[in-house]
Structure 1
Amino acid sequence: MSEDWLARWREGRIGFHRSEPHPALTHHWPRLGVPAGTKVLVPLCGKSVDMRWLAQHDYPVLGIEVAAEAIEQFLEQSPAEVSRYHKAGFEISRQGSVELWCGDFFHLHIDQAAEIGAFYDRASLIALPPATRHRYAFHLAQLIPPGAKGLLVSITHDESWEGPPYSVPAEEIRTLFEPNFRLVHLEDNPEQEDSKRESVWELERRGPHG
């Protein structure tokens, strides 16, 4: 997956990128009741402007992205100063309250995510092939503390259309996440011209006793 993802950024095949914050984020995030100041994990973050929206609303961001091109393009969107440093196998760039960690999401360890208190996934799960999605859901659960909430935006489409983004239906989302999260299906967005339909979910990490 990583090689294909890197090739997409090198070649500019990033049709999944949006120039404005995602409506699901701006509409549903305030309803989660995540306290201001909570650091938000954004896996496979690309150069998403959703991270700037979160930062502007007093939510520090820790974004993980394997493509250095995506990180540099994000940083170029703002004239704000950038600090860079290396930590535990990641090259980290910080701009304001956004930290971008360049590296493999699956190499992020619990101790490195100690400050995380929420998460946002708009294009992470749907970027992964089926076998890797199980690993992703389990790893995310390891990084997120009990009681922490997150927003997940998934996509369904005609399976004959190759991903990414891959089609991840509601049944699979429940199978992947219900062992470790409480799920609330918030909405399905109208089908788009290319037959993709978005679904939006609220997730809350279960505690040790469910």
Structure 2
Amino acid sequence: MSDAWRQRWQEGRIGFHRDAPHPALIEHWQALGSAPNAKVLVPLCGKSLDMRWLASQGHPVLGIEFVFEAVEAFLAASPAPVSRYVEPDFTIFRQGAVEVWHGDFFHLHLPQAAEIGAFYDRAALVALPTATRQRYAFHLAQLTPPGAKGLLVTLTHDQGDQGPPYSVDDAEVARLLAPNFRLEKLATSAPDERGRGESVWALERRGPRC
């Protein structure tokens, strides 16, 4: 999968990228009720402007991205200085309140994510093939503490297993995430001209709080 995504970035086939923060993020984020200064985990972040929007709301942001071209593009979009340091399995670039960790999301371990208090997924779950989505849901649950709030944007289309982005319907969201997260569906959009419709979910990590 990583080779396929790397090829897409190198060829400029990144139609999933938006030139503005996602409307669902702007509309629904505050209503989640996450702590104002909670560090937000953004898996498979690409060069998403959503991270800068989250930072503008006062959140430290930790984005994870394994395609270096995407990391470079995100950093180059701002004149702010960049600092670089290394963690096991990751090279980390800090620009303002945003850290982009270059590496494999599945290599991120709990001690490295100890300060995570919220999460945002617009392009991770729908980027993963069926066989990997269960692993992703379990790993996300491992990294987030009880009570952590998150916003999830999913996509449905009628192209079968073709992707990315892949079609992830409501039943699959419940199957993957309900064991570890409370789910609330916030909105659903009508299919666009390509037959793609989005759904927006509020999530809260289950479990006793310390």
Aligned to 2:28: 28
Deviates more, 1:159-168 or 1:31-40: 159-168
| CA drift at 1:208 | 4.7
**TM-score normalised by the chain length of structure 2:** 0.98
> What's the counterpart of residue 103 of structure 1?
103
Distance 1:68 1:200 in 2: 28
Aligned to 2:14: 14
CA shift, 1:89, in A, is 1.6
The equivalent residue for 2:199 is 199
Q: Which 5+ residue runs of structure 2 have no aligned equivalent? A: none
Task: Give the superposition deviation at 1:159.
Answer: 2.7
The superposition leaves residues 29-57 of structure 1 with CA deviations (integer Å, 9 ceiling, x where unpaired) of 01011121110000000000000000011
Query: How many pairs align?
Result: 209
Residue in 2 that maps onto 1:37: 37
Q: Equivalents in 1 of 2:112, 2:161: separation in Å?
A: 37
- 3-state secondary structure, aligned to 1:202: strand
Uncovered stretches (5+) of structure 1, i.e. residues with no partner:
none
Once the two structures are superposed, residues 9-41 of structure 1 have per-residue CA deviations (whole angstroms, 9 ceiling, x without a partner) of 111110000000000000000101112111000
Which residue identity does 1:58 align to in structure 2?
G
Q: Structure 1-normalised TM-score?
A: 0.98
Give the match's secondary structure for 1:24: helix
**Paired residue type of 1:150:** G
Aligned partner of 1:124 in structure 2 is 124
Identity of aligned residues (%): 65
How many Å apart are 1:198 and its aligned residue? 0.2
Runs of 4+ in 1 over 4 A off after TM superposition: none
CA RMSD of aligned residues (A): 1.1
1:170 maps to what in 2?
Answer: 170
